[in-house]
A and B are shown apart, each in its own frame.
Chain A
Amino acid sequence: MTKMLVVDDEIEICDFLKTFFEDRNYKVFTALNGETALKTIQQEKPSIVLLDIKMPGMDGIEVLKRIKTLHPATKVIMVTAIETRDKIDEATRLGADNYITKPLSLEYLETDVKDKLESLVK
């Protein structure tokens, strides 16, 4: 079963993403902040992370940096509300595998997740 981590400071967002991907046979972990996210990554080693950029405390960009240093193979999809071009460019430069904007199209998100995981297998 593929392990996925959803990081968002909005519990409801974590909630429905968990429901959606669990129904599609993923093992889903959730984290409401960067610190918890890094701990979960350390323990569970998920293949893919859905990562919100704007969060209190450690923000998504910082979490991305650490993931890519400690576990470079982990696929990271950035989830943004509205970000400036600069932020998105920074995320891409730091190794983010894609970014999607809120509100989310679950169908598109699923395709994208599958796509990233396939590239991981290859």
Chain B
Amino acid sequence: MCTAFIATLLYKSLDRLVLALFRKTFFKSHMGRLTALASASNVLIHTLDLKELSNLIVNTVAEIMNQRIAVLILWEKGRDKLWLASSSGLPVSSMNKIRFEKKDPLIPFLRKRRGLIEREKCLREFSWPDVYEISKGFELLGVQSILSILCEDTWMGFLGLSGKKGGEVFSSDEIKVLEDYGKAAGFALRNALYVDELKQTNEKLKDLQSKLLQTTKLAAIEQLASGIAHEIHNPLTIISGKAQILLLKKNKQLDEKTLEQSLKTIVKQTKRAADITRKLLMFSEPKSSGRDAIDFEGVVDDTISLISYQMTLDEITIRKTISKSLPPFKGEINEIREVFLNLILNAVQAVGRKGAIHIQIRYLERESLIEIKIQDTGRGIQAEYIPRLFNPFFTTREGGLGLGLFITQQIIHRYHGSIHIESEIGKGTVVVIHLPNSRTSWGDEPVPTDSQEIRV
């Protein structure tokens, strides 16, 4: 019971005050202290953050064993360097001076001897000039004892301790507990170092992914460029045409009605041109918090309006059947837009002239999944290509980058969803996405659907 309480405290907070109070009340006895350190050893493994763990190792031993100074020096295998990970009671002026090299005589000695080493005993083993160097090391840290940190057989660094008051040496019981603590710390540190490495790799990966996302976005925009140019040039033509006519007529009799109509048209067409650029810009918006409430219908409508001119030219019909009562879904709006843009663009290219696309979004109550289906009446995909569709750089379209579906899948997986494609030559293709959604206060009422056809 007491152990569990201490464990929770150590795990949850490093508040030194709380620990100090504990020391005063519980650790008065010698045995109490050793039991507390042994319990603390079991707790270290739960901390995976390297910085937090280093502080925990240092502060715990300093408090429980009543150490004025405790210093954790770690050996970074990758860079083959020793560095100060955490310290307690060490003046800042000394902290900056602490530098150990692998070739310093102390280090190979520690690696060989392991366990807890007292300064005096250690110095006896060396002769001049090494004894001077080693003594300098102890002095620099302001410690009397050094405890090697081990993980299985790997030496990971050491913990310097100022020792007991009055220069007393640690008892054999204390050494045993401290050495066990060193092993527990080593084990926990190895895990934290792995996590740290993973975090760094993950950061690099995220960076790469965002660059990749940018590339696919640009490729999509390139495909949209001609349609968008028309969507801007046509309103500009109308605005400029109406204005030129008004200018030519300005000195002649100009009836109020014509003037009003012309000006209204100009205002309307200006808005039309502005809308298309605004929609295009939405795709280059910076990353949001990732907690946007996603309005699927809004995303679908924005995407459709972005490609509406292309659809008009090719006489493509898009039908949408979107449930009006989808459960709330949080995500990064840009990622969701990217998914719909990639899939709808693919469908538009697949159907060609006079094709039809059907976008369905509904909630699968039993599975707690949001289902997105994008179906086209296009030429279909050859069966042997289907398993390769999500591979990066795989494309069946001339001049295509082959990144659209790859990125789409990556995004869907980030939301713990799934995506698959079914296709039949000459009949068309359907892309099905399932996005999991934790059920909140969802009632049993039937989900009404709203089906409407957009003929453009």
Contacts and interface: CB of A to CB of B under 8 A. Distances in A.
Interface of A: 9-10, 12-13, 16-17, 19-20, 23, 54-57, 59, 81-82, 102-107
A81 B241 contact: no
A54 B230 contact: yes
Contacts of B314: 56
B234 A20 contact: no
Nearest to B456: A56
30 contacts: A9-B312, A10-B237, A12-B265, A13-B237, A13-B238, A13-B241, A16-B238, A16-B242, A19-B245, A20-B241, A54-B230, A54-B313, A55-B313, A56-B312, A56-B313, A56-B315, A81-B234, A81-B237, A82-B230, A82-B233, A102-B233, A102-B234, A102-B236, A102-B237, A103-B237, A103-B240, A104-B240, A104-B241, A106-B244, A106-B245
Contacts, number: 62
Contacts of A16: 238, 241-242, 245
Contacts of B249: 23
A82 B238 contact: no
Q: Secondary structure at chain B's binding surface: helix, strand, loop or mixed?
A: helix
Contacts of A56: 312-315
A82 B225 CA distance: 10
Contacts of A105: 244
B248 interface: yes
Interface residues of B, number: 22
Contacts of B269: 12
A41 B155 CA distance: 92
Given A16-B241, A17-B241, A81-B229, A10 B234 contact: yes
Contacts of A9: 312
Nearest to A107: B244
B226 interface: yes
A115 to B, nearest CB: 19
